[in-house]
């Protein structure tokens, strides 16, 4: 319990740091974002919008601590202002419409990559120098060396443009009726396959090598020799004795990768025009939609922190040693 409270404190500090960063950035950066935006929209902004923006971005004349308190109050009450590019929708509404797609894409890819990668790692370590152990790592490291967006575009070109197996953009076809119908769900699935597969392809190597290297250490432990001497079935030794004890670093990586789910799917979303928070963030940056940009960054950070906290709680259950110190 004390461990969990300590971690909770840590995440609160991390969240405070990121909201403060978010507060400070527009105030201490050179240039005046509001004028830049005003020029961009060619005077189409309403006076009250300009006022609200000045307040949000801290270009008004109040003392900085007063602005800070106001800002913290807004965040706590979930008021992140009005989106400029999607006026008059509130930032929170825009984000709520998109976070689901990001979770679907990133979550699917992460689970597949982690499960498959760990299994491959277990097998590779179990048969040192075997086919999986010698052939896969170099191939995966080589694939992982390519810039992710480059691979994704190549895959899109090959499977989307040339072969026509995969839809080119978005999360579902234009004109499809959203709802829990089998028709719509299979349409969503078809749009999900290629983006998810490309993420799996580049991230699976990390899982595999991490698991392989810890497994190699575990395999030379005495209790493995003991289990072998007892004549247990190899499969049982491999999963129950060796892999189980080598799993913990993977659990930690899983927590860290949850950051990849929300933030790191950004390039995927951009390449595939997938309507998640990452794609929206780039649009917000390009459209100088500062309120939306800040709201998205905070949401992404909050999601990452929350996910990591949940993994920490899980970790306590998995590793009793954590509880004791």
Where does this chain touch other proteins (CB under 8 A) — which range of 77-85, 91-99, 178-186, 302-310?
302-310
- Name 204's bridge partners: none
Least distance to other proteins from the beta carbon of 17, Å? Answer: 5
Which of 192, 242 has the CB closer to other proteins?
Answer: 242
DSSP string computed for 281-302: HHHHHHTT-HHHHHHHHHHHHH
Taking CB under 8 A as the rule, does residue 217 contact other proteins?
A: yes
Taking CB under 8 A as the rule, does residue 74 contact other proteins?
A: no
CA distances from 125 to 117, 210, 324 (A): 12, 10, 31
Taking CB under 8 A as the rule, does residue 161 contact other proteins?
A: yes
The SS3 of residue 90 is strand
Which of 112, 176 has the CB closer to other proteins?
Answer: 112
Between 16 and 45, how does the x/- string for binding to other proteins read (CB under 8 A)?
Answer: -xx--xx--xx--xxx-x------------
Taking CB under 8 A as the rule, does residue 214 contact other proteins?
A: yes
Q: Give me the phi and psi of 82, to 5 degrees please.
A: -105, 135
Taking CB under 8 A as the rule, does residue 128 contact other proteins?
A: yes
Which of 88, 147 has the CB closer to other proteins?
Answer: 147
Where does this chain touch other proteins (CB under 8 A) — which range of 83-91, 99-107, 277-285, 317-325?
277-285
Cβ neighbourhood burial of 70 (10 Å; 0-12, 13-18, 19+): middle
Interacting residue with other proteins among 141, 185, 310, 313 (CB under 8 A): 141
Taking CB under 8 A as the rule, does residue 226 contact other proteins?
A: no
CA distances from 320 to 2, 56, 243, 317 (A): 13, 46, 17, 7
Inter-residue contact 136 to 209 (CB < 8 Å):
no
Q: Give me the phi and psi of 253, to 5 degrees please.
A: -60, -35
Where does this chain touch other proteins (CB under 8 A) — which range of 41-49, 87-95, 155-163, 189-197?
155-163
Taking CB under 8 A as the rule, does residue 153 contact other proteins?
A: yes
Q: Identify whether 88 is preceded by a cis peptide bond (ω within 30 of 0).
A: yes
Between 229 and 268, how does the x/- string for binding to other proteins read (CB under 8 A)?
Answer: -----x--------------x--xx--xx-xx-xxx-xx-
């Amino acid at each position: 319990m004390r461990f969990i409270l300590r971690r909770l404190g840590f995440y609160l500090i991390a969240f405070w740091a990121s909201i403060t960063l978010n507060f400070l950035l527009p105030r201490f950066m050179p240039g005046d974002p509001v004028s830049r935006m005003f020029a961009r929209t060619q005077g189409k902004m309403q006076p009250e919008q300009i006022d609200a923006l000045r307040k949000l971005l801290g270009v008004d004349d109040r003392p900085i601590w007063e602005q800070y308190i106001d800002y913290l109050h807004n965040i706590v009450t979930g008021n992140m202002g009005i989106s400029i590019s999607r006026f008059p929708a509130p930032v929170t509404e825009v984000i709520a419409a998109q976070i689901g797609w990001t979770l679907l894409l990133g979550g699917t890819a992460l689970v597949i990559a982690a499960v498959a990668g760990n299994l491959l790692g277990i097998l590779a370590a179990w048969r040192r120098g075997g086919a999986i152990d010698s052939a896969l790592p170099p191939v995966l490291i080589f694939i992982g060396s390519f810039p992710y967006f480059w691979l994704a575009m190549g895959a899109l070109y090959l499977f989307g443009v040339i072969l026509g197996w995969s839809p080119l953009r978005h999360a579902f076809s234009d004109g499809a009726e959203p709802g829990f119908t089998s028709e719509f769900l299979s349409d969503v699935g078809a749009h999900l396959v290629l983006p998810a597969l490309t993420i799996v392809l580049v991230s699976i190597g990390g899982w595999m090598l991490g698991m392989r290297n810890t497994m190699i250490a575990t395999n030379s432990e005495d209790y493995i020799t003991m289990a072998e001497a007892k004549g247990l079935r190899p499969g049982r030794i491999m999963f129950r004795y060796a892999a189980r004890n080598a799993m913990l670093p993977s659990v930690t990586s899983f927590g860290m990768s949850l950051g990849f789910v929300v933030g790191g799917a950004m390039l995927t979303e951009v390449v595939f025009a997938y309507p998640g928070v990452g794609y929206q963030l780039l649009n917000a940056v390009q459209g100088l939609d500062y309120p939306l940009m800040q709201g998205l960054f905070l949401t992404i950070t909050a999601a990452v922190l929350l996910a990591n906290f949940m993994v920490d709680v899980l970790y306590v259950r998995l590793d009793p040693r954590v509880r004791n110190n």
